[in-house]
Amino acid sequence: MLPALDRLHLSRTGEFHPLSQPELDEFTDEEKVDPITLESFQKDANDWRTFRVRNETPRADGTYKYHYYKASALWQHYDSSTPKKDPLTNQPIWYEDWMALHDAYDPFPNAVELIPLWVYGLPTREPGTVKAQPQPMQRFRAQPPNQLPNRRIPMSPTPIWVHRQPNRPQHQLSEEDRESERLYAVRNRARERFDQLLRLDEPGPNNALRNAMRDVELAGEAIQEFVDRLAANENNPNGLRTLQAGSERYGRRETAERMQRQVDRAVARWQGNAGAGV
């Protein structure tokens, strides 16, 4: 039995998130860039809007980690007839986020019949979200002679109640996809640990920040080996796997340099705090 529609969230709310000045200052200090275009983050103006994507699972304290993107670049990534994964976490996009980007950037935002079917299989971020999927188009049937056409008002999209579901049911994944999910999950956890240590006011035990950075690098090396193997099997210098391997290699190099600068600044900050306390 469907719940009362007056208790459901029918509006499309996405995570467009204009950065405050303190957030922008923090991103600048951390040299955080859009992972797709590698542009530095900006205040919302002209063609720049910031979009944030929430992790599926909360932290131990109940809060969520967010990943930030240039909204128009993220839409170009997801504007596809086939499913796409998050360029950072390798997870599916939230249904609400895809619809928010679609409404903002698609040239035909009201043409629901043009929305790819895979979008309706995306996980929902909010438990009360309703997915509005249009009815399949009926075959055209000629009217009998001397009978006026039946000019019925077009049906509105039919709300479909959905429950929270796992992002990627493991039994539906290929062996390659399962290995990809596992490798990216390891790197995501390592990067979250690094980010947590980076925010500390004093260094952790046993040079924990540098160890966390090394964990991120090792996870990246495992991913690189995996995508290189796929590219070799593809045997096409212009193939998708080869491009993915090259993009991963470039991204790892940029990330390693940026993380090293973050470590150097954190160490300098900790040493300054220790000197001030003497």
CA distance 71 to 256: 25
Query: What percent of the chain stands above pLDDT 90?
Result: 16
pLDDT at 228 over 80: yes
CA distance 125 to 93: 9
E-strand ranges in 45-200 read: 50-54, 66-70, 130-133, 158-161
Q: Tell me the H-state helices in 171-239.
A: 175-198, 208-234
Helices and strands, number each (H, E), in the chain: 6, 4
For residue 2, what pLDDT is reported? 42
Pairwise pLDDT comparison (96 vs 12), residue with the higher score: 96
For residue 182, what pLDDT is reported? 84
Residue 142 pLDDT level (bands cut at 50, 70, 90): very low
Which stretch of DSSP H or E encloses residue 73?
Answer: helix 71-78
pLDDT at 149 over 60: no
Residues 6+ apart with CB under 8 A from 258: 31, 33
For helices 208-234 and 240-277, what crossing angle results, to 10°? 170
Mean pLDDT estimate for the chain: 77
Residue 206 pLDDT level (bands cut at 50, 70, 90): low
Residue 12 pLDDT level (bands cut at 50, 70, 90): very low
For residue 154, what pLDDT is reported? 41
CA distance 90 to 84: 9
Q: 100: how many CB neighbours lie within 10 A of its CB?
A: 19
Q: What is the three-state SS of 224-254?
A: HHHHHHHHHHHCCCCCHHHHHHHHHHHHHHH
Q: Could you give all domains of the chain from N- to C-terminal order, each with its CATH number?
A: 5-136+155-161 (no CATH), 170-277 (1.20.58)
Q: What angle do CA 41, 122, 12 make, to 5 degrees?
A: 65
Question: What are 111's two structure tokens?
Answer: 């043409």
Lowest mean pLDDT among 31-40, 47-56, 63-72, 178-187: 178-187
CB-count exposure of residue 104 (10 Å: 0-12, 13-18, 19+): middle
